Amino acid sequence: MQPAGYKELKHIPGGENGWPIIGNFLDFTTNTIPYFQSEKAHHGDVFKASSPLGYSVMVTKPEANKFLLVDQGKSTNNQLAWELALGELFPNGLMLMDGERHKTHRSIILEAFKPKPMQGYLDELPAVFDSEFAKLNGRTEFDALPFFKKLTLKIAAKIFFGFDLKEDINQIDQAITAIVEASTALPLKLPFTRYQKGIQGRAFLVDYFREVLPDRRQNPGNDLFSRLCEATNEDGDRLSDQEIIDHLIFVLMAAHDTTAITLTWMSYFMAKYPDWQAKVQQEGEALNAVTDLQLSHIRKLESASLVLKETLRIHPPLILIPRFLTEELEVDGQTLPAGSVVNTVLQMTHQDERIWSSPEKFDPERFNAERKEQNRCPFAYMPFGAGNHHCIGFQFAEMSAKLGLSMLTNRFELSLHEGYESKARAVPFKQPKDGMPLKLRPRFS
């Protein structure tokens, strides 16, 4: 099915003020949130945008999240929505699968996130966090984003792949970063372009995993890598080497960047709001006394959980979710033809005044048992997506973020440099424009 173009979408407002050829691409990539806010103010909750890849429709109405991603899931296609931007970077990743194939491959990977393996991951996590946080001893400040990216890469490598990265960590980190940056670049395979660097980063990871794959097939362990090597596909055959490699690259990206960014923003809010830092520290002290750490202990980290939810509301790593319509749908009074690429804009629904009280304010208590603001509109809040493509590793991400924040703040007092305010860029992931410099001092001598 061909994507809908201007002729099919000309009745949808918006997209008129773009540049020749590139359309609204620069607004979207460099001035994202103000651009969305301006278009919504002028055109309402449904408007179109143009880019070198064609036209797409942005939807900022909170109720549309459930409608598009859950209720009308059979009328949408995930692969066709992502393929133009990610087809060469993450071929055969779960994001680029639909139907029975997606169901089969998702069920294989889901085995790695059931309670027994999750407890196994939790058994290993504290030692990784402790080792990395020890490297901050004697320092008075650190750049949070690069620090957490290295940390989550080590976690993903050890827990999901059974690797103990040392010499290779910088190359792998650079390769993942290049792939992610290429996802919002113009798809030009020219030397020194961001897109070409992403293709090269992927090629490096393909070679890296291909080299170690034969040994893992012969000597499987309990990690995700081994599970993929032992799994069978929808025809009862083992997954091919390429299918395994494609899944590993996608999981590595997902486990590395999004959790690192979330830990960075959580640390920023701890430094900015000392009262909340004190609450998380109190929980961390109690957790530190536990000798047999269980998943139930992580679930009881109430303050850390509230901070995590509010952080993801304000700064969802992925600010929108695209779908390709295979059937005509009506959204907020606008008829969207089959072939439309439609984006539910999480950044806007997460801060919609129709749902949230004082949405610009950092207020974790909005998620407590009494207020439950997220329940005012189903799926208005969905940092991990919804429907068949709901993030498969969300429980691991939540566990890692809460445990990591608790252990970090139990060890150090975080604070901001005088006058510092973070500035974010929204795509490809919503992360600080700088490395997020934070001050720290040890809590215990």
CATH of the domain at 117: 1.10.630.10
pLDDT for 85 equals 84
Name beta bridge partners: 344.
59, 321
Residue 269 lies in a domain: yes
Residue 425 lies in a domain: yes
Residue range of the domain that includes 375: 6-442
Neighbours of 73 (CB within 10 A): 17
Residue 279 lies in a domain: yes
Residue 1 lies in a domain: no
Which residue has tokens 């992502």? 82
| pLDDT tens over the chain, length 445 residues | 889 999 999 999 998 878 888 899 999 999 999 999 999 999 999 999 999 889 999 999 999 999 999 999 999 999 999 988 899 999 988 989 999 999 989 998 888 899 999 999 999 999 999 999 999 999 999 999 999 999 999 898 888 888 876 667 788 889 999 999 998 888 888 888 999 999 999 999 999 999 999 999 999 988 889 988 988 766 777 889 999 999 999 988 887 889 999 999 999 999 999 999 999 999 999 998 899 999 999 999 999 999 999 999 999 999 999 999 999 999 999 999 999 999 999 999 999 999 999 999 999 999 999 999 999 999 999 999 999 999 999 999 999 999 999 999 999 999 999 999 999 999 999 999 999 999 999 998 7
Q: Which of 438, 416, 355 is nearest to 147 (CA)?
A: 438
Number of domains in the chain: 1
**In contact, 19 and 26? CB cutoff 8 Å:** yes
State the virtual CA torsion across 80, 86, 92, 96 in degrees, nearest 10: -30
**How far is C-alpha 27 from the chain's CA centre?**
22
Token code pair at residue 410: 């139990």
**How far is C-alpha 297 from the chain's CA centre?**
24
Residue 94 lies in a domain: yes
Region class of 225: left (phi > 0), else alpha (psi between -120 and 50), else beta: alpha
pLDDT for 167 equals 64
The string over 82-117, giving b where at least 16 C-beta atoms fall within 10 Å of a residue's C-beta and e elsewhere, is bbbbbebbbbbbbbbbbeeebeebeebbeebeeeeb
CB under 8 Å to 202, separation ≥6 — which residues?
A: 88, 89, 175, 179, 249
Residue 428 lies in a domain: yes
Do β-strands 341-345 and 141-143 pair in parallel, antiparallel, or remain unpaired? Answer: unpaired
